[in-house]
Amino acid sequence: MTRYTHADFADDDSVNSVQLTEGISTSATHIRYHAGSSIWKQRTMLEKALLVLVATLFFVIVVLTIILHSAEHRIHESRIIHVQTGEELPCLNKSCVHIASNILEAMDLSVDPCEDFYSYACNGWVKANPIPDGKSTWGTFMKLEQQNQLVIKHVLGEYFVLKLQQLILPSSEQPMENLKSKAEKKAKIYYESCLDVNDTVEQFGAKPMIDLIKKMGGWNITDSGFNLTNWSLQRIVELIQNKYNIGGLFSYVVGEDDKNSSRYILQIDQSGLTLPTREYYLNKTEHSKVLEAYLDYMTKVGVLLGGEYNSTKEQMQAVIDFETRLANITTPNELRRDEESLYNLMTIADLYERARFLDWRAFFENAMKIVNRKVNNKEKIVVYAPEYLGNLSLLIEEYQSTEEGNITLNNYMVWQTVRVFSGCLSKAFRDAYKGLRKALMGSEGGEEPQWRYCVQDTNNVLGFAIGAIFVREVFHLDSKNQAEEMINNVRNAFKKNFKNLKWMDEDTRKAAIIKADAISDMIGYPDFIRNTTLLDQRYEDLRVYNDTYFQNNININLYNLQKNLEKINEAVNKTTWSMAPSTVNAYYTPTKNQMVFPAGILQSPFYDPSFPESLNYGGMGVVMGHELTHGFDDQGREFDKDGNLNHWWKNKTIERFKARTKCVVDQYNKYKINSKNINGNQTLGENIADNGGLKAAYHAYLKLMDGQPEPETLPGLPLNHRQLFFVAFAQVWCSSVTKEATALQIEKDSHSPAKFRVIGALSNLKEFSKEFKCDVGTKMNPKNKCEVW
């Protein structure tokens, strides 16, 4: 919960003064009036006439102002249902006053909620929360993340404390009494390396990367021993993918088999672009600044590593040209939403017939050496982009026909490694990225303290060790039980609505209920993090040191690759987590039929035990409904209760479902920000989840309150709790975003921008319009609505 100090209220002194004056209004008026009457006798007739005229005009203006304000208030009040009558008073305890204050500060009551509910709920927040320097987005999620970072920082220690310890004690003897396991101590050591407590990052400069390039066989851009005669694509791809775990040309993992989710299988997919989406390469007119910034960034890094400026720039442009060719053969994500059509099971031998630019058996055998497993040509692999790999083979064949083409292929592969690890080098390398970041995001970054970056980096690397710290420090264990109850209520409301869906046939409806019941929910954290033995085993093979940040990251990449490949010999554990416990987020996994709600998000403003249920269900309840609905969105619905890709719906029902999802696509396609339309196909799954989650959570709340007395209102808020549910939902998404970051989100993100996550879902829910008395035809109550779940 947000805490306030006296400094936070410094700007409110004038308000307090007015209140104090009003407290002694009788005597003050009498004194002023008495003093004024003696002066009046001294005025001339002309002065008296002018004063009377001025007073009269002032009185008329005041009366007109009151009348206009009263009329505006009555218009707005017509949208509000009052629940206070007679002598009833709002809740006036400390918690209610605090909650009401936060809600009111975020709102803008001058906006008609039936025209723009996002602005009505969030304008005050946006005005009071400008984007901090160095950031491109700022919202309630980010504010909560920063609070979580403070908790972690407190335990891991601050930079200056660590520096003092370095002067007194050797690294191995530094006090770590707050850390309960070896894994947590590794997290602290890695955090120290990121903070560069020994100043080794700046001392080493470019040397760690130069040494790595030489190990990879050299780079034509620098004087590092590159010799085309001894070079082979097979070797460089195996080295970069299977030793340094860097994607290039394609990506592969060991994952659950979509059609048999009880086993792990090799999977391969399209990859290889440095910029966020293919559009940045193909739409050169719109994205010319980004492409220029990308070339400038590549050139600066190449020069820092010893390259000559003009030669480096020319060769880096050739790499961009190659990536542009990759973009041309990459399928847009919006066209990759049908899981059934993406799934192509074949053997390693089949893959070689389609894409001959690599010896795939040799490649995967090289990878599996880490886990002592043999691979033959009959090994099964799921190929998600067979057309891309076929076209890639033709493209590489073209490049390998010339000496310059082979040099570009090596330059591209080495660049993939350089760009990943250059962030672990000295400040000059980090500064080189600022121009590209500004072009992409509208902000150079780098303004916030280094410790914040390092806390986040440590969480990315040793997330479960950090999770153990976070849970121990702030997470209330009873929150797990309360969250479980809320999930069950939302699930029951979601299932109950099935009978109202006329487009579903009875058999599919029954199967959908079974699947909804089968969705497992993981709350707070995985149990193993509270067992120091199990937690230590998790990171047993990871080696980190407090004075080798660059090498630590190489070790981490290899460790992550090893952990992924080890799964090929294991049965699937459907209780594993893919997200660190301190993360402010949640997710659903279709192959596990599992939804996960980390401890990081089970906090205000999403959830708080002191909140009225209307706020908890409007915040966390909608998040739960959202993840639940993902099991039934356009992709999730293709997986059955066991997490298998399976044709378990009747064809007629599928047709009617697709007709309803088309309505959602068309609706969101019309939304526009900065003259750029949202992509309704790309965001379809998230939009379905937003709509379904909101509806399920609201009906779960109504069911919870059924038969109970109307809760006390909150002070100063002329809203009942059904209306507060919708305000809480909207205020979760209050945010500010730069123009560039918004454009990037529209290009890449599967989620709609925050404003339309609110407006889109609410305008489809008739219960919302009923509560706020929105007339049919207003923006928040269109005549034609979209409904899937």
Tell me the per-residue pLDDT of 322-369, one tens digit each, with 9 for 90 and over: 999 999 999 999 999 999 999 999 999 999 999 999 999 999 999 999
Q: Does 367 reside within a domain?
A: yes
Query: Using CA atoms, how far apart are residues 573 and 520, in angstroms rounded to an integer?
Result: 13
pLDDT exceeds cutoff 80 at 170: no
Per-residue model confidence (pLDDT) at position 59: 44
- What average pLDDT score do residues 446-474 get? 90
Q: Does 508 reside within a domain?
A: no
The reported pTM is: 0.83
pLDDT exceeds cutoff 90 at 610: no
Token duo for residue 63 = 């009366």
* CATH number for 279: 1.10.1380.10
Q: Does 123 reside within a domain?
A: no
Catalytic residues: 627, 690
What are the tens digits of pLDDT across the range 3-56?
222 222 222 322 222 222 223 232 322 222 233 333 333 344 444 444 444 444
- What average pLDDT score do residues 215-222 get? 95
Token duo for residue 785 = 């609505």
pLDDT band (50, 70, 90) for residue 172: very low
Q: Does 375 reside within a domain?
A: yes
Token duo for residue 651 = 């064809």
Per-residue model confidence (pLDDT) at position 195: 92
Give the position of tokens 């891309």. 388
Burial of 587 (0-12, 13-18, 19+ CB in 10 A): middle
Per-residue model confidence (pLDDT) at position 158: 52
Query: Using CA atoms, how far apart are residues 26 and 436, in angstroms rounded to an integer?
Result: 65
Q: How many domains does the chain have?
A: 1
Q: Hey, what's the torsion of the CAs at 116, 120, 125, 131, to 10 degrees? A: 10
pLDDT exceeds cutoff 80 at 714: yes
Tell me how far CA of residue 775 lies from CA of 78, 766, 769, 771, 779, in angstroms: 11, 11, 8, 11, 9
Q: Does 241 reside within a domain?
A: yes
Per-residue model confidence (pLDDT) at position 93: 82
Range of 279's domain?
229-405
Considering the chain, what is the average pLDDT of its residues? Answer: 86
Tell me how far CA of residue 107 lies from CA of 125, 169, 337, 427, 642, in angstroms: 7, 52, 37, 41, 44
Which one-letter DSSP state was computed for residue 229?
A: G
Which one-letter DSSP state was computed for residue 596?
A: E
Q: Does 129 reside within a domain?
A: no
Q: Does 381 reside within a domain?
A: yes
Q: Which of 80, 87, 85, 127 is nearest to 105 (CA)?
A: 127
* % pLDDT > 70, the chain: 86
